[in-house]
Amino acid sequence: MKNQLEELLHFVQSEGRICPEPGKWHELWEMLPDKKRVGNGWQPPLPLILAAWDNTSGIEKMLRLRQHI
């Protein structure tokens, strides 16, 4: 399983990719099991889309996507 995870993480970041387009990223987040509200936020945290899309760096988006994967 660890090898598959490493391969997937390598693939999603290859060829200069940072994260999915906002709509697709939201679809991915919706498929995550065990989402729950925690205070004013969510666990796992929401994808960095909508207002966050323009206000976060590529590395922040990559790290958030890794959390989702």
> What's the mean pLDDT when you consider all of the chain?
95
How many domains, the chain?
1
Q: Is 16 left (phi over 0), alpha (psi -120 to 50) or beta?
A: left
Question: What pLDDT is recorded for position 2?
Answer: 83
CA distance 45 to 62: 13
Note down the domain range covering 48: 2-68
Evaluate whether 64 touches 25 at the Cβ level (below 8 Å): no
pTM: 0.89
Question: What pLDDT is recorded for position 1?
Answer: 78
